[in-house]
Amino acid sequence: MHKIIHLAPSILAADFARLGEQVQEAEANGASMIHIDVMDGQFVPNITMGAMVVEAVRRVTQLPLDVHLMIVQPANHIEAFARAGADRITVHYEADPHLHRTIMTIKALGCMAGVAINPHIPALAIDAILPFVDQVNVMTVNPGFGGQEFIHEMMSKVADIHAMIGNLRHHIDLQVDGGINTQTAMSAAQAGANILVVGSAVFNHQFSVTEGINRLKQALATI
């Protein structure tokens, strides 16, 4: 299989005192985009960052910014994230009763639009919205925190969504998010994911960003 697998380092696990430096190190080592996890303490238990951080990251990198909104009523905040410099905005299926309208708003603002689904949501739930999105994010942990264990059972869902995408006429990126490391990256890629979101396996205290990315690239080299 000769498939390009993109790495999307998630700054959730970064050293925020050295955020610019760490993002630039990820860029220099071949990251395809920077994943920014926005959490509101309501949709998920944790609170992280908002549009100000997106704006700050925008100033230090040329890479596309992939904003993952884990917030209730995401439609209220889309414009602020688009203005801050987001290139891709992903909203949760579970968080929005008017998902189609929100997806169309994201696209009207000039961003790529994504839908994310939690582990308990089946592939078929996104069948009707699929023709309208540019990417799907399949959560392989329960969203809220970095460093959690990969839920292997999600791989059949990734394969199902990969097949559903194959039936459409246009390309849709398929992300997996949560618990990706040198052990799990290959399973996700084999199931059909083409973007791996990686937090703690890139940003951590054990090794550098450069080494983290290189280890993942090596793990994926045989695909």
Q: 116 with 154: CB under 8 angstroms? A: no
Q: Does 35 bind ligand DX5 (CB under 6 A)?
A: yes
What is the distance between the alpha carbons of residues 118 and 140, in angstroms, rounded to a whole number?
A: 8
Of residues 5 and 201, the one with the C-beta less far from ligand DX5: 201
Bridging pattern class, strands 88-92 and 65-70 = parallel
Lay out the site mask for Zn ion across 65-84 (x = CB under 5 A, - = otherwise): ---x----------------
Q: Which stretch binds ligand DX5 (CB under 6 A): 76-84, 152-160, 178-186, 212-220?
A: 178-186
Of residues 99 and 198, the one with the C-beta less far from ligand DX5: 198
Of residues 123 and 145, the one with the C-beta less far from Zn ion: 145
What is the distance between the alpha carbons of residues 97 and 84, in angstroms, rounded to a whole number?
A: 25
Using CA atoms in the order 196, 200, 203, 208, what is the torsion angle rounded to 10 degrees? Answer: -100
AA identity, residue 108: A
Residue 141: name its binding partner from Zn ion, ligand DX5, none (Cβ under 5 to 8 Å by kind).
Answer: ligand DX5
Q: Which of 25, 27, 37, 173 binds Zn ion (CB under 5 A)?
A: 37
186: Cβ contacts below 8 Å, ≥ 6 apart:
219, 220, 222, 223
Q: Which residue is nearest to Zn ion (CB)?
A: 68
Q: Which listed residue (40, 96, 134, 177) is catalytic?
A: 177
User: By rule CB under 6 A, what count of residues binds ligand DX5?
Assistant: 21
Q: 81 with 55: CB under 8 angstroms? A: no
Bridging pattern class, strands 6-9 and 135-139 = unpaired
Q: Which stretch binds ligand DX5 (CB under 6 A): 7-15, 79-87, 186-194, 215-223?
A: 7-15
Q: Which of 49, 78, 126, 198 binds ligand DX5 (CB under 6 A)?
A: 198
* Residue 80 C-beta-side C-alpha neighbours within 13 Å: 12
* 177 a catalytic residue: yes
Q: Which stretch binds Zn ion (CB under 5 A): 17-25, 72-80, 159-167, 170-178?
A: 170-178
Q: Considering only CA atoms, which of 179, 148, 157 is closest in space to residue 93?
A: 157
Q: Does 37 bind ligand DX5 (CB under 6 A)?
A: yes
Residue 85: name its binding partner from Zn ion, ligand DX5, none (Cβ under 5 to 8 Å by kind).
Answer: none
* 134 a catalytic residue: no
| Catalytic residue numbers, as ranges | 37, 177
